[in-house]
Amino acid sequence: MTTDIKERQAIRRSSNVPAYSQLADILEQQIAALTDEERARALPSEGDLSRQYGLSRITVRQALKSLESKGLVYSAQGRGSFPTLQRVTGISGFHSFTAEVRRNGQEPGTVILATSEVDRLPASIAEKLPVAEGEGGPQVHLRRLRLIDGLPIAVEDAWLPKALFPDLRPADFTDGSLYSLLADRWGLEPAWTDALIEPDRAAPEVAQLLAIDPGDPVLVAWRVTVTAEDKVFERVRSIYRPGFSLRVARYRLG
């Protein structure tokens, strides 16, 4: 065997990736590989990590803080830092549908139903998710049917602001991940999302798309996603079929 688990990864100081970020990635990877038994034990102390990787304690703490904000570890004064248990996995509807389904070990599918360009955000979504000044301008609209392992799961209507994505054309849309496209071409990534979730009955045309009966109980989610700089990234209305459940994992309280 040439690979050795104890092989210690090093921090590249010449890299443009910050040291704390590199350390966070290393720790995240190591934690993911732990058994349940090992998860009950503390991680190496800040002092140990500092010496091991040749970093100051401030940098080590920055790495641990970033893992803590993602809900992967917690720290207890006087005791140490510990991995958390991951309790819920599945589809949240908040991240990239493609990525979430794949991570769940299933096969995502997407059918583009319609695309268009509109001068203003439709009133139907504007009244659910308040629109700030200057946000309601020209949008690109995209209607998709989402499938998991070939089964229709949701009907999604998305509006993308042309102000944020200049030169975005309906023709750019493919079956692939929309988020990847936006990241590659405009370097923009979603950072936060607000959502409204409510129960409803399936309208006839939605029922037909989801292969359910009209009037069946469905879940309707309205989302607005923003970048780290609080720019509206997209607005989405999703209608999920009965029997499907949304999972909201690691929501920070207080």
Contacts with a second copy, residue ranges (CB under 8 A): 36, 65, 69-71, 74, 76, 82, 84-85, 87-88, 90, 94-95, 129-130, 132-133, 189-201, 217-219, 224-226, 228-230, 240, 242-254
Binding mask 79-118 for DNA (x = CB under 7 A): xxx-------------------------------------
Residue 209 near residue 184 (C-beta atoms within 8 A): no
Query: Using CA of residue 163, residue 164, residue 170, residue 172, what is the dihedral sign?
Result: positive
Q: Which does 110 bind (CB under 5 to 8 A by kind): DNA, a second copy, none?
A: none
Residues 16-55 within binding reach of DNA (CB under 7 A): 16, 18-21, 42-43, 45-48, 54-55
Residue 222 near residue 173 (C-beta atoms within 8 A): no
Q: Which does 18 bind (CB under 5 to 8 A by kind): DNA, a second copy, none?
A: DNA
Of residues 63, 66, 50, 81, the one with CA closest to residue 23: 63
Q: Which amino acid is at 156?
A: E
Residue 81 near residue 41 (C-beta atoms within 8 A): no
Q: Which amino acid is at 23?
A: L
Q: Report the C-alpha gap between 63 and 68 in whole angstroms.
A: 9
Residue 46 near residue 60 (C-beta atoms within 8 A): yes
Q: Which does 61 bind (CB under 5 to 8 A by kind): DNA, a second copy, none?
A: DNA
Of residues 57, 55, 63, 77, the one with CA closest to residue 30: 63
The H-assigned helical ranges of 104-177 are 123-126
Q: Which does 176 bind (CB under 5 to 8 A by kind): a second copy, DNA, none?
A: none
Question: For DNA, which is the closer residue by CB, 20 or 173?
Answer: 20
What is the closest distance, in whole angstroms, from the C-beta atom of residue 125 to DNA in the complex? 30
- Does residue 227 touch DNA according to CB under 7 A? no
Q: Which does 6 bind (CB under 5 to 8 A by kind): DNA, a second copy, none?
A: none
- Does residue 177 touch DNA according to CB under 7 A? no
Residues 149-168 within binding reach of DNA (CB under 7 A): none
- Secondary structure element (H or E) that encloses residue 70, with its range: none
Residues that bind DNA (CB under 7 A): 16, 18-21, 42-43, 45-48, 54-59, 61-62, 75-81
